[in-house]
Amino acid sequence: MLLLPGAGRGPAAVQEWAPAFAGELVMTKPGYVYIMTNKRNGTLYIGVTSDLVQRVWQHREGLIEGFTNKYGLKCLVWFEGHADIQDARARELQMKEWRRAWKIKRIEEMNPTWDDLYESLI
């Protein structure tokens, strides 16, 4: 199940119960795919997380070593919520294979001015 931005706030808003083995119910963990950048049409990073607010904050504060820190990617320009983290991971892998133009098109469909969406999350 795909959850669109604005459908709720925080992980609790997107958790749902799913049938499991022998009719038991288990809680699935939600997930988010997101794109960070340093400027409009700049370097792009696609990631996945179960806590979008915390993860973006970590990127913004430079607490995560690696690609986003090296290139100063602190601006959240796109995200997509999924009821199950495994679906989000699959989507992340799919999008990482996309051409850059497709990623930019996806960003501009949701966020044509490339605004930092972090403030809209908190």
pLDDT in tens, 24-81: 566 689 999 999 999 999 999 999 999 999 999 999 999 989 999 999 999 999 999 9
Provide CB contacts within 8 A for 72, sequence distance 6+: 38
User: What residues does each domain of the chain span?
Assistant: 2-121
Q: What pLDDT score was predicted for residue 6?
A: 47
Q: What pLDDT score was predicted for residue 28?
A: 80
Q: Has residue 9 got a pLDDT over 80?
A: no
Provide CB contacts within 8 A for 92, sequence distance 6+: 33, 46, 47, 48
Please tell us whether the domain made up of 2-121 is placed in CATH 3.40.1440.10: yes
What is the share, in percent, of the chain residues with pLDDT greater than 70?
78
Q: How far apart are CA 110 and CA 59, in angstroms?
A: 21
